[in-house]
Chain A
Protein backbone atom coordinates (compact mmCIF):
# COMPACT_ATOMS: atom_id res chain seq x y z
CA UNK A 1 0.00 0.00 0.00
CA UNK A 2 2.70 2.41 1.10
CA UNK A 3 4.96 1.95 -1.91
CA UNK A 4 2.12 2.52 -4.34
CA UNK A 5 1.26 5.78 -2.57
CA UNK A 6 4.82 7.09 -2.60
CA UNK A 7 5.25 6.06 -6.22
CA UNK A 8 2.12 7.85 -7.34
CA UNK A 9 2.99 10.85 -5.18
CA UNK A 10 6.38 11.01 -6.84
CA UNK A 11 4.84 10.77 -10.27
CA UNK A 12 2.34 13.45 -9.33
CA UNK A 13 5.05 15.86 -8.19
CA UNK A 14 6.88 15.20 -11.42
CA UNK A 15 3.93 15.66 -13.75
CA UNK A 16 2.51 18.76 -12.18
CA UNK A 17 5.44 20.84 -13.28
CA UNK A 18 4.86 20.00 -16.90
CA UNK A 19 1.29 21.12 -17.38
CA UNK A 20 -0.96 21.78 -14.40
CA UNK A 21 1.50 24.01 -12.61
CA UNK A 22 3.72 24.88 -15.54
CA UNK A 23 5.93 27.66 -14.22
CA UNK A 24 5.60 29.91 -17.22
CA UNK A 25 2.07 29.37 -18.36
CA UNK A 26 0.37 29.11 -15.01
CA UNK A 27 2.42 30.96 -12.46
CA UNK A 28 4.03 33.26 -15.03
CA UNK A 29 7.33 32.92 -13.22
CA UNK A 30 10.77 33.30 -14.64
CA UNK A 31 9.68 35.34 -17.58
CA UNK A 32 12.73 37.52 -18.06
CA UNK A 33 14.76 34.72 -19.60
CA UNK A 34 11.70 33.30 -21.30
CA UNK A 35 11.27 36.29 -23.55
CA UNK A 36 14.83 37.49 -23.89
CA UNK A 37 16.54 34.35 -25.15
CA UNK A 38 13.72 32.70 -27.05
CA UNK A 39 14.56 34.37 -30.34
CA UNK A 40 16.03 31.09 -31.53
CA UNK A 41 15.12 27.52 -30.66
CA UNK A 42 18.71 26.64 -29.79
CA UNK A 43 18.95 29.47 -27.26
CA UNK A 44 15.63 28.45 -25.71
CA UNK A 45 16.85 24.89 -25.31
CA UNK A 46 20.18 25.96 -23.88
CA UNK A 47 18.54 28.28 -21.36
CA UNK A 48 16.08 25.55 -20.41
CA UNK A 49 18.88 23.08 -19.78
CA UNK A 50 20.96 25.57 -17.82
CA UNK A 51 17.95 26.37 -15.62
CA UNK A 52 17.32 22.64 -15.20
CA UNK A 53 20.84 22.10 -13.92
CA UNK A 54 20.58 24.95 -11.43
CA UNK A 55 17.09 24.02 -10.23
CA UNK A 56 17.81 20.33 -9.75
CA UNK A 57 21.16 20.83 -8.03
CA UNK A 58 19.79 23.56 -5.78
CA UNK A 59 16.77 21.47 -4.86
CA UNK A 60 18.94 18.51 -3.97
CA UNK A 61 21.18 20.64 -1.78
CA UNK A 62 18.39 22.59 -0.11
CA UNK A 63 16.42 19.45 0.55
CA UNK A 64 19.39 17.66 2.10
CA UNK A 65 20.13 20.66 4.30
CA UNK A 66 16.53 21.51 5.11
CA UNK A 67 16.83 20.52 8.76
CA UNK A 68 20.13 22.33 9.19
CA UNK A 69 19.49 25.76 7.66
CA UNK A 70 18.15 28.12 10.34
CA UNK A 71 14.77 29.56 9.41
CA UNK A 72 15.52 33.30 9.68
CA UNK A 73 18.37 33.14 7.16
CA UNK A 74 16.96 30.53 4.85
CA UNK A 75 16.32 32.83 1.90
CA UNK A 76 19.88 34.14 2.03
CA UNK A 77 21.17 30.58 2.23
CA UNK A 78 19.07 29.55 -0.77
CA UNK A 79 20.35 32.49 -2.76
CA UNK A 80 23.96 31.62 -1.95
CA UNK A 81 23.34 28.04 -3.06
CA UNK A 82 21.57 29.07 -6.25
CA UNK A 83 24.19 31.71 -7.10
CA UNK A 84 26.96 29.13 -6.70
CA UNK A 85 25.37 26.77 -9.20
CA UNK A 86 24.59 29.58 -11.61
CA UNK A 87 28.22 30.70 -11.54
CA UNK A 88 29.27 27.11 -12.23
CA UNK A 89 26.95 26.94 -15.25
CA UNK A 90 28.20 30.31 -16.46
CA UNK A 91 31.83 29.22 -16.38
CA UNK A 92 31.03 25.80 -17.82
CA UNK A 93 29.23 27.31 -20.79
CA UNK A 94 32.00 29.85 -21.37
CA UNK A 95 34.56 27.06 -21.33
CA UNK A 96 32.80 24.36 -23.32
CA UNK A 97 30.29 26.11 -25.59
CA UNK A 98 31.56 29.68 -26.11
CA UNK A 99 29.12 30.30 -28.99
CA UNK A 100 26.08 29.62 -26.82
CA UNK A 101 27.61 31.58 -23.96
CA UNK A 102 27.96 34.59 -26.24
CA UNK A 103 24.35 34.28 -27.43
CA UNK A 104 22.86 33.99 -23.97
CA UNK A 105 25.19 36.58 -22.50
CA UNK A 106 24.25 38.07 -19.17
CA UNK A 107 20.99 36.12 -19.09
CA UNK A 108 22.80 33.05 -17.84
CA UNK A 109 23.75 34.93 -14.71
CA UNK A 110 20.20 36.22 -14.47
CA UNK A 111 19.00 32.67 -13.81
CA UNK A 112 19.85 33.43 -10.20
CA UNK A 113 16.96 35.88 -9.93
CA UNK A 114 14.56 33.59 -11.73
CA UNK A 115 11.66 33.58 -9.28
CA UNK A 116 10.94 29.99 -10.30
CA UNK A 117 14.05 28.58 -8.65
CA UNK A 118 13.84 30.52 -5.42
CA UNK A 119 10.11 29.83 -5.31
CA UNK A 120 10.56 26.06 -5.57
CA UNK A 121 13.19 26.07 -2.83
CA UNK A 122 10.99 28.06 -0.48
CA UNK A 123 7.73 26.27 -1.15
CA UNK A 124 8.81 22.71 -1.85
CA UNK A 125 12.42 21.64 -1.57
CA UNK A 126 12.81 22.97 1.96
CA UNK A 127 9.83 20.98 3.13
CA UNK A 128 10.22 17.64 1.42
CA UNK A 129 12.55 14.70 1.09
CA UNK A 130 15.36 14.64 -1.43
CA UNK A 131 13.57 12.12 -3.60
CA UNK A 132 10.41 14.22 -3.91
CA UNK A 133 12.44 17.41 -4.29
CA UNK A 134 14.30 15.94 -7.24
CA UNK A 135 11.07 14.88 -8.93
CA UNK A 136 9.55 18.30 -8.35
CA UNK A 137 12.65 20.04 -9.70
CA UNK A 138 12.89 17.85 -12.78
CA UNK A 139 9.19 18.23 -13.48
CA UNK A 140 9.26 21.99 -13.14
CA UNK A 141 12.40 22.23 -15.26
CA UNK A 142 10.87 20.11 -17.99
CA UNK A 143 7.78 22.29 -17.92
CA UNK A 144 9.96 25.39 -18.09
CA UNK A 145 12.04 24.06 -20.98
CA UNK A 146 8.89 22.91 -22.77
CA UNK A 147 7.39 26.40 -22.41
CA UNK A 148 10.62 28.01 -23.60
CA UNK A 149 10.58 25.82 -26.71
CA UNK A 150 6.90 26.62 -27.27
CA UNK A 151 7.88 30.27 -27.42
CA UNK A 152 11.24 29.87 -29.13
CA UNK A 153 10.37 27.51 -31.97
CA UNK A 154 7.53 29.62 -33.47
CA UNK A 155 9.59 32.77 -33.01
CA UNK A 156 12.51 31.35 -34.93
CA UNK A 157 10.42 29.68 -37.62
CA UNK A 158 8.36 32.79 -38.31
CA UNK A 159 11.07 35.36 -37.67
CA UNK A 160 14.08 33.78 -39.37
CA UNK A 161 12.61 31.01 -41.47
CA UNK A 162 14.82 28.46 -39.78
CA UNK A 163 14.73 25.90 -37.01
CA UNK A 164 17.85 25.21 -34.93
CA UNK A 165 19.71 27.19 -37.60
CA UNK A 166 18.53 24.94 -40.39
CA UNK A 167 16.86 27.03 -43.04
CA UNK A 168 13.34 25.77 -43.65
CA UNK A 169 11.79 27.79 -46.39
CA UNK A 170 14.59 28.74 -48.72
CA UNK A 171 15.64 32.07 -50.13
CA UNK A 172 12.31 33.61 -51.01
CA UNK A 173 10.73 33.37 -47.61
CA UNK A 174 9.95 36.83 -46.28
CA UNK A 175 10.44 36.46 -42.54
CA UNK A 176 8.07 38.03 -40.05
CA UNK A 177 10.92 39.97 -38.51
CA UNK A 178 9.04 41.32 -35.53
CA UNK A 179 8.91 37.81 -34.10
CA UNK A 180 12.63 37.79 -33.35
CA UNK A 181 12.51 41.31 -32.01
CA UNK A 182 11.38 42.13 -28.45
CA UNK A 183 7.71 42.81 -29.29
CA UNK A 184 7.54 39.35 -30.82
CA UNK A 185 8.47 37.86 -27.48
CA UNK A 186 5.64 39.69 -25.74
CA UNK A 187 3.13 38.76 -28.44
CA UNK A 188 4.17 35.11 -28.50
CA UNK A 189 3.88 34.63 -24.75
CA UNK A 190 0.59 36.52 -24.63
CA UNK A 191 -0.73 34.38 -27.44
CA UNK A 192 0.38 31.16 -25.76
CA UNK A 193 -1.22 32.22 -22.49
CA UNK A 194 -4.41 32.82 -24.41
CA UNK A 195 -4.31 29.29 -25.81
CA UNK A 196 -3.50 27.86 -22.39
CA UNK A 197 -6.40 29.75 -20.79
CA UNK A 198 -8.72 28.64 -23.56
CA UNK A 199 -7.86 24.98 -22.90
CA UNK A 200 -8.33 25.43 -19.17
CA UNK A 201 -11.67 27.16 -19.61
CA UNK A 202 -12.88 24.54 -22.02
CA UNK A 203 -11.95 21.79 -19.58
CA UNK A 204 -13.85 23.55 -16.80
CA UNK A 205 -16.88 23.98 -19.03
CA UNK A 206 -16.90 20.31 -19.93
CA UNK A 207 -16.53 19.37 -16.28
CA UNK A 208 -19.41 21.66 -15.34
CA UNK A 209 -21.56 20.22 -18.12
CA UNK A 210 -20.86 16.70 -16.90
CA UNK A 211 -21.77 17.64 -13.35
CA UNK A 212 -24.97 19.33 -14.46
CA UNK A 213 -25.99 16.40 -16.59
CA UNK A 214 -25.30 13.88 -13.90
CA UNK A 215 -26.69 15.95 -11.07
Chain B
Protein backbone atom coordinates (compact mmCIF):
# COMPACT_ATOMS: atom_id res chain seq x y z
CA UNK B 1 0.00 0.00 0.00
CA UNK B 2 1.46 3.32 -0.99
CA UNK B 3 1.31 5.79 1.81
CA UNK B 4 -0.33 9.15 1.14
CA UNK B 5 2.73 11.31 1.58
CA UNK B 6 4.64 9.25 -0.95
CA UNK B 7 1.76 9.50 -3.42
CA UNK B 8 1.66 13.28 -3.07
CA UNK B 9 5.38 13.93 -3.28
CA UNK B 10 5.83 11.41 -6.07
CA UNK B 11 3.24 13.14 -8.23
CA UNK B 12 4.58 16.57 -7.34
CA UNK B 13 8.32 16.09 -7.63
CA UNK B 14 9.68 12.63 -8.32
CA UNK B 15 7.34 11.74 -11.17
CA UNK B 16 6.10 15.20 -12.06
CA UNK B 17 3.21 14.96 -14.49
CA UNK B 18 4.62 17.45 -16.93
CA UNK B 19 8.36 16.97 -16.60
CA UNK B 20 8.40 13.18 -16.33
CA UNK B 21 5.27 12.05 -18.13
CA UNK B 22 4.93 14.87 -20.67
CA UNK B 23 1.30 15.41 -19.75
CA UNK B 24 -0.14 18.89 -20.04
CA UNK B 25 2.36 20.17 -22.56
CA UNK B 26 0.05 22.36 -24.68
CA UNK B 27 -0.51 25.02 -22.04
CA UNK B 28 2.99 24.38 -20.79
CA UNK B 29 4.53 25.60 -24.02
CA UNK B 30 1.75 27.93 -25.06
CA UNK B 31 0.42 30.03 -22.26
CA UNK B 32 3.30 30.15 -19.89
CA UNK B 33 4.55 33.50 -21.10
CA UNK B 34 3.48 35.33 -18.00
CA UNK B 35 4.03 34.11 -14.48
CA UNK B 36 0.65 35.25 -13.19
CA UNK B 37 -1.34 33.56 -15.94
CA UNK B 38 0.65 30.38 -15.63
CA UNK B 39 0.01 30.17 -11.91
CA UNK B 40 -3.71 30.78 -12.26
CA UNK B 41 -4.04 28.27 -15.06
CA UNK B 42 -2.28 25.80 -12.82
CA UNK B 43 -4.79 26.43 -10.05
CA UNK B 44 -7.70 25.93 -12.45
CA UNK B 45 -6.04 22.66 -13.44
CA UNK B 46 -5.84 21.51 -9.82
CA UNK B 47 -9.49 22.23 -9.33
CA UNK B 48 -10.56 20.32 -12.42
CA UNK B 49 -8.29 17.44 -11.43
CA UNK B 50 -9.83 17.15 -7.98
CA UNK B 51 -13.32 17.04 -9.42
CA UNK B 52 -12.23 14.51 -12.03
CA UNK B 53 -10.54 12.29 -9.46
CA UNK B 54 -13.68 12.20 -7.33
CA UNK B 55 -15.94 11.39 -10.26
CA UNK B 56 -13.49 8.82 -11.63
CA UNK B 57 -13.55 7.01 -8.32
CA UNK B 58 -17.34 6.95 -8.28
CA UNK B 59 -17.46 5.71 -11.85
CA UNK B 60 -14.76 3.08 -11.36
CA UNK B 61 -16.28 1.66 -8.22
CA UNK B 62 -19.94 1.53 -9.10
CA UNK B 63 -20.51 1.94 -12.80
CA UNK B 64 -17.56 0.83 -14.88
CA UNK B 65 -17.32 -2.61 -13.34
CA UNK B 66 -20.24 -3.53 -15.54
CA UNK B 67 -19.05 -1.68 -18.61
CA UNK B 68 -15.28 -1.19 -18.69
CA UNK B 69 -15.43 -0.30 -22.37
CA UNK B 70 -17.21 2.92 -21.47
CA UNK B 71 -14.36 4.12 -19.31
CA UNK B 72 -12.76 6.47 -21.84
CA UNK B 73 -16.00 8.06 -23.01
CA UNK B 74 -17.36 8.54 -19.51
CA UNK B 75 -14.09 10.07 -18.30
CA UNK B 76 -14.09 12.56 -21.17
CA UNK B 77 -17.68 13.56 -20.47
CA UNK B 78 -16.87 14.05 -16.79
CA UNK B 79 -13.84 16.19 -17.63
CA UNK B 80 -15.74 18.30 -20.15
CA UNK B 81 -18.48 18.92 -17.61
CA UNK B 82 -15.99 19.73 -14.85
CA UNK B 83 -14.23 22.24 -17.10
CA UNK B 84 -17.56 23.79 -18.02
CA UNK B 85 -18.40 24.10 -14.34
CA UNK B 86 -15.05 25.63 -13.42
CA UNK B 87 -15.34 28.02 -16.36
CA UNK B 88 -18.71 29.29 -15.13
CA UNK B 89 -17.39 29.60 -11.59
CA UNK B 90 -14.36 31.64 -12.69
CA UNK B 91 -16.51 33.83 -14.93
CA UNK B 92 -18.67 34.67 -11.96
CA UNK B 93 -16.01 35.05 -9.30
CA UNK B 94 -13.25 36.78 -11.23
CA UNK B 95 -14.05 38.18 -14.69
CA UNK B 96 -10.51 39.50 -15.21
CA UNK B 97 -9.05 36.08 -14.62
CA UNK B 98 -11.57 34.74 -17.09
CA UNK B 99 -10.35 37.28 -19.64
CA UNK B 100 -6.72 36.56 -18.91
CA UNK B 101 -7.09 32.82 -19.38
CA UNK B 102 -9.08 33.24 -22.57
CA UNK B 103 -9.07 30.22 -24.82
CA UNK B 104 -6.93 28.16 -22.49
CA UNK B 105 -9.72 27.44 -20.07
CA UNK B 106 -11.86 25.34 -22.42
CA UNK B 107 -8.62 23.81 -23.69
CA UNK B 108 -8.16 22.17 -20.29
CA UNK B 109 -10.66 19.63 -21.59
CA UNK B 110 -8.19 18.27 -24.09
CA UNK B 111 -5.34 18.65 -21.65
CA UNK B 112 -3.70 15.23 -21.44
CA UNK B 113 -2.91 15.88 -17.80
CA UNK B 114 -6.50 15.63 -16.62
CA UNK B 115 -7.39 12.51 -18.58
CA UNK B 116 -3.94 11.12 -17.79
CA UNK B 117 -4.61 11.61 -14.09
CA UNK B 118 -7.89 9.70 -14.32
CA UNK B 119 -6.30 6.85 -16.28
CA UNK B 120 -3.16 6.54 -14.14
CA UNK B 121 -5.22 6.63 -10.99
CA UNK B 122 -7.43 3.85 -12.34
CA UNK B 123 -4.45 1.72 -13.35
CA UNK B 124 -2.87 2.09 -9.93
CA UNK B 125 -6.12 1.09 -8.29
CA UNK B 126 -6.26 4.06 -5.95
CA UNK B 127 -9.20 4.43 -3.57
CA UNK B 128 -10.99 7.69 -2.94
CA UNK B 129 -8.57 9.37 -0.54
CA UNK B 130 -5.50 8.19 -2.45
CA UNK B 131 -7.05 9.38 -5.69
CA UNK B 132 -7.69 12.86 -4.31
CA UNK B 133 -4.19 13.14 -2.87
CA UNK B 134 -2.79 11.95 -6.19
CA UNK B 135 -4.86 14.58 -8.00
CA UNK B 136 -3.65 17.26 -5.61
CA UNK B 137 -0.03 16.25 -6.11
CA UNK B 138 -0.37 15.97 -9.87
CA UNK B 139 -2.13 19.32 -10.16
CA UNK B 140 0.45 20.97 -7.95
CA UNK B 141 3.17 19.38 -10.07
CA UNK B 142 1.69 20.74 -13.28
CA UNK B 143 1.34 24.17 -11.68
CA UNK B 144 4.93 24.01 -10.49
CA UNK B 145 6.18 23.13 -13.96
CA UNK B 146 4.06 25.86 -15.58
CA UNK B 147 5.31 28.47 -13.11
CA UNK B 148 8.95 27.45 -13.46
CA UNK B 149 8.85 27.59 -17.22
CA UNK B 150 6.99 30.90 -17.23
CA UNK B 151 9.59 32.32 -14.87
CA UNK B 152 12.46 31.21 -17.09
CA UNK B 153 10.71 32.48 -20.19
CA UNK B 154 10.23 35.89 -18.64
CA UNK B 155 13.95 36.01 -18.01
CA UNK B 156 14.87 34.91 -21.52
CA UNK B 157 12.68 37.55 -23.17
CA UNK B 158 15.52 40.03 -22.92
CA UNK B 159 18.14 37.62 -24.17
CA UNK B 160 19.60 37.47 -27.66
CA UNK B 161 18.35 34.08 -28.86
CA UNK B 162 19.23 32.95 -32.41
CA UNK B 163 16.18 32.98 -34.64
CA UNK B 164 16.43 29.29 -35.58
CA UNK B 165 15.93 28.27 -32.02
CA UNK B 166 13.55 30.95 -30.88
CA UNK B 167 10.08 29.96 -29.85
CA UNK B 168 9.06 26.41 -29.11
CA UNK B 169 12.50 24.94 -29.72
CA UNK B 170 14.24 26.87 -26.96
CA UNK B 171 11.27 26.33 -24.65
CA UNK B 172 11.58 22.60 -25.11
CA UNK B 173 15.28 22.65 -24.34
CA UNK B 174 14.64 24.76 -21.24
CA UNK B 175 11.94 22.26 -20.27
CA UNK B 176 14.44 19.46 -20.76
CA UNK B 177 16.91 21.09 -18.40
CA UNK B 178 14.22 21.64 -15.77
CA UNK B 179 13.18 18.01 -16.25
CA UNK B 180 16.77 16.92 -15.64
CA UNK B 181 16.86 19.00 -12.49
CA UNK B 182 13.70 17.28 -11.26
CA UNK B 183 15.32 13.90 -11.80
CA UNK B 184 17.38 14.79 -8.78
CA UNK B 185 14.29 14.23 -6.66
CA UNK B 186 14.37 10.50 -7.28
CA UNK B 187 15.14 8.53 -4.17
CA UNK B 188 13.66 11.28 -2.01
CA UNK B 189 11.88 8.74 0.09
CA UNK B 190 14.50 6.06 0.50
CA UNK B 191 14.71 4.49 3.93
Interface residues, chain A, with chain B CB atoms under 8 Å away: 28, 31-32, 34-36, 76, 79-80, 83-84, 86-87, 90-91, 105-106, 109-110, 112-113, 115, 118, 178, 181-187, 189-191, 193-194, 197-198, 201
Of the residues B20, B26, B123, contact of A115 by C-beta under 8 Å: B26
Please name the residue on chain B nearest to A35 by beta carbon.
Answer: B22
* Cβ-defined contact, A190 with B173, below 8 A: yes
Of the residues A83, A84, A90, A106, contact of B120 by C-beta under 8 Å: A106
Q: How far is the CB of A94 from chain B (nearest CB, A)?
A: 11
Given A110-B116, A112-B76, A182-B20, the answer on whether A35 and B25 have CB atoms closer than 8 Å is yes
* Cβ-defined contact, A190 with B169, below 8 A: yes
A-side interface mostly: helix
B-side interface mostly: helix
10 A/B residue pairs, CB under 8 Å, sorted by A: A32-B24, A32-B25, A106-B120, A106-B123, A112-B76, A185-B176, A190-B165, A193-B172, A194-B169, A197-B163
Set of chain A residues within 8 Å of B116, measured between Cβ atoms: 32, 106, 110
* Cβ-defined contact, A197 with B169, below 8 A: yes
Stretch in contact with the other chain, from B2-10, B37-45, B57-65, B177-185: B177-185
Interface residues, chain B, with chain A CB atoms under 8 Å away: 19-26, 29, 69, 71-73, 76, 80, 109-112, 115-116, 119-120, 123, 163-165, 167-173, 175-177, 179-180, 183
Given A83-B73, A105-B123, A113-B111, the answer on whether A194 and B165 have CB atoms closer than 8 Å is yes
Please name the residue on chain B nearest to A32 by beta carbon.
Answer: B112
* Cβ-defined contact, A186 with B176, below 8 A: yes
Set of chain B residues within 8 Å of A198, measured between Cβ atoms: 164
Q: How far is the CB of B19 from chain A (nearest CB, A)?
A: 6
Report the separation of the CA atoms of residues A201 and B169 in the bound assembly, to the nearest whole angstrom.
14
Set of chain B residues within 8 Å of A190, measured between Cβ atoms: 165, 168-173, 175-176
Q: How far is the CB of A8 from chain B (nearest CB, A)?
A: 32
Please name the residue on chain B nearest to A119 by beta carbon.
Answer: B110
Given A190-B169, A190-B173, A197-B165, the answer on whether A109 and B119 have CB atoms closer than 8 Å is yes
Of the residues B19, B69, B176, contact of A87 by C-beta under 8 Å: B69
Please name the residue on chain A nearest to B119 by beta carbon.
Answer: A106
Report the separation of the CA atoms of residues A196 and B102 in the bound assembly, to the nearest whole angstrom.
30
Set of chain B residues within 8 Å of A189, measured between Cβ atoms: 172
* Cβ-defined contact, A183 with B176, below 8 A: yes
